[in-house]
Amino acid sequence: MLKQRIMTALVLLPAFMALIFLAPQWLFVATLFAIFCLAAKEWGNLIQPGCTATQISFVITLALLMIATLYLVPLQQFWYSDQLNITLQAILMLAGLWWLVAIVMVITYPKGTDYWKDSHFSKSLFGQLTLFPAFIAFVILHSVPNNQSDYFGGWLILAPLLMVWLADTGAYFVGKAMGKTKLMPKVSPGKTIEGFAGGLLFAVVGASVYGHYVLDVEWPVMILIAVVTTVISAFGDLLESLFKRNAGIKDSGNILPGHGGVLDRIDSMTAAIPVFALLYIVLGA
């Protein structure tokens, strides 16, 4: 399994780096759109396992939401005098509120599931709140204006992704070496508090150094952003685990060898990206 994960990562990482740094903006957005449509198909399986109609309808609704937003706010209107469009600001704030709710859902699980576990509407709404703001946040970060570098958007996107990758790496190795105390046994039995702490340390140190020297963000601000983003990214992973447990499935899909589905690969990023974007903009980083 580890070998498959590494081989898949070696293929995907260069492709993703080329996408965020070299591809024209329209191609970046189009590719991202396709990725999120694949993730939406997998979320449809969490809503009603094995139902193709549910998967297709959820893909269509997310696709229409993404298209409608880009029609309402074209890419060239995302920023005006270094200020983010107010509609996009509202989307990021909605994402921040959603992840606060999601944290409560994960911590209290399985309590409080009666109102949503059998509701297709609720699970569809949760899926939209998870995927849609993440898509918009990716595009926002990629389009951040910077007079000094045409590649600044790519470097900016790498910051939350670095947090997720370092947190995953640290959690894996520290958890394997020292993990004893279960973090959320009712949601994801394999995760430990020791692994979580190790991943948090890896992510905060690495991302803070990156943010200060590459993005030119002040140390206190970058450390705060790294801590909050990394912690919430962990709940992105746990939230998907919660919905998979509720649906009775192990992986969201099998499109990525060693990783499962697209949703399994981007679950932490769906939380990290919008939260990072919100904090970066609000704190004036």
Q: In this structure, what are the phi and psi dihedrals at residue 260, rounded to the nearest 5 degrees?
A: 90, -125
Question: How far is it, in rounded angstroms, from Cα 43 to Cα 22?
Answer: 30
Question: How far is it, in rounded angstroms, from Cα 29 to Cα 70?
Answer: 10
Give the pLDDT score at 11: 77
Give the pLDDT score at 244: 93
Question: How far is it, in rounded angstroms, from Cα 158 to Cα 59?
Answer: 27
Half-sphere CA count of 267, side-chain side, radius 13 A? 24
Closest of 18, 14, 284, 20 to residue 152, by C-alpha: 20
Question: Which conformational region is residue 79 in: left (phi greater than 0), alpha (psi within -120 to 50 degrees), or beta?
Answer: beta
Asked whether 47 and 62 are in contact (CB, 8 A), the reply is: no
pTM for this predicted structure: 0.95
Per the structure, the count of domains in the chain is 1
Give the pLDDT score at 258: 55
pLDDT tens string 246-263:
999 988 876 766 557 899
pLDDT beyond 90 at 219: yes
Residue 260 domain boundaries: 2-282
